[in-house]
Amino acid sequence: MTPGTRRTITGFSNPTVKALRALRDKKHRKREGRFLAEGLRLLTDARECGRLPETLVMATGRDPHPLLDALEADVLAAGGDVIETGVDILSKITGKDNPQAVAGVFAEFDTTLERIDRSAAPIWLVAQALRDPGNLGTMLRTADAVGAGGLILIDDCADPFSVEAVRASMGAVFTQAIAQARWDDFIAWLCGGPGSEQGGQLVAASLRDAVPYRGAAYAAPCFLLVGNESRGLPEEYEMACDLRVTMPMRGRADSLNAAVAGAVLAYEVLACLDPQ
């Protein structure tokens, strides 16, 4: 493999700066099949999961760090590019006032359902029409924390490769499997269509015909389904679930933030399936 190149960019109007900045826009991101991730910690997580950025962008005048040196060496060895530029330009690229000293451009992953190995973990999170990229990233972060296998996105969800989702995931976008599917395809896959071997328990956070979430009869692999932020789950989706569970609502509200509901449920499932 040809080693990558190293260069310095000083101008805001440099076409590379424009191309990197454009990755904050979904349409452009999909056309390029690339996304941005920021921060040494995130990029190190990615590297340790076998994901290297194609392009590494570093701030001039940054503090030296052995992990950054290692990352740079790996990127160059893999044929990637390393760009040094000013903090002001990095700020423009990432859209943050106080940008991290380093950012990377990654190729988007394959997010087909067929890539999911359900036997790899006892818990999987499933989100339906989740619109907020911060909620999506937070669910990835929670999935990592409970030792889930990944996050399956049903119907029209926010883009898991948006800057906001990647940021909120705190690196879990690299550690968790991510799949995107239509409901019918997901159900066919889950229930044993071609390519399915073990099935799985589909659990909905629900108010309809539901049992208390605490100590419910969870079974691995358990797929926890959370609905859209304002509409919740369609009734037919809830009714297709193996188990509907409900959380106490002691106040005026009748629902939780979607990422919060998923997390409370995921920790309960973890405690039931894997008490330690």
Which residues of the chain form contacts with a copy of itself (CB under 8 A)? Answer: 45, 48, 134, 138, 141-147, 168, 170-172, 175, 214, 247-253, 255-257, 259-260, 263-264, 267, 270-271, 275-276
Nearer to a copy of itself by Cβ, of 9 and 256: the residue is 256
Pair 137, 163: CB distance under 8 Å: no
Nearer to a copy of itself by Cβ, of 17 and 263: the residue is 263
Neighbours of 106 (CB within 10 A): 22
Alpha-carbon span 188 to 16, nearest angstrom: 43
Closest residue by Cα to residue 95 from 46, 184, 164: 164
Nearer to a copy of itself by Cβ, of 34 and 167: the residue is 167
- Helices 66-77 & 40-48 angle (0-180, nearest 10): 50
Nearer to a copy of itself by Cβ, of 134 and 234: the residue is 134
Alpha-carbon span 162 to 40, nearest angstrom: 18
Least distance in angstroms from the C-beta of 83 to a copy of itself: 26
Least distance in angstroms from the C-beta of 254 to a copy of itself: 9
Least distance in angstroms from the C-beta of 105 to a copy of itself: 22
260: which 2 tokens? 């919060």
Least distance in angstroms from the C-beta of 69 to a copy of itself: 21
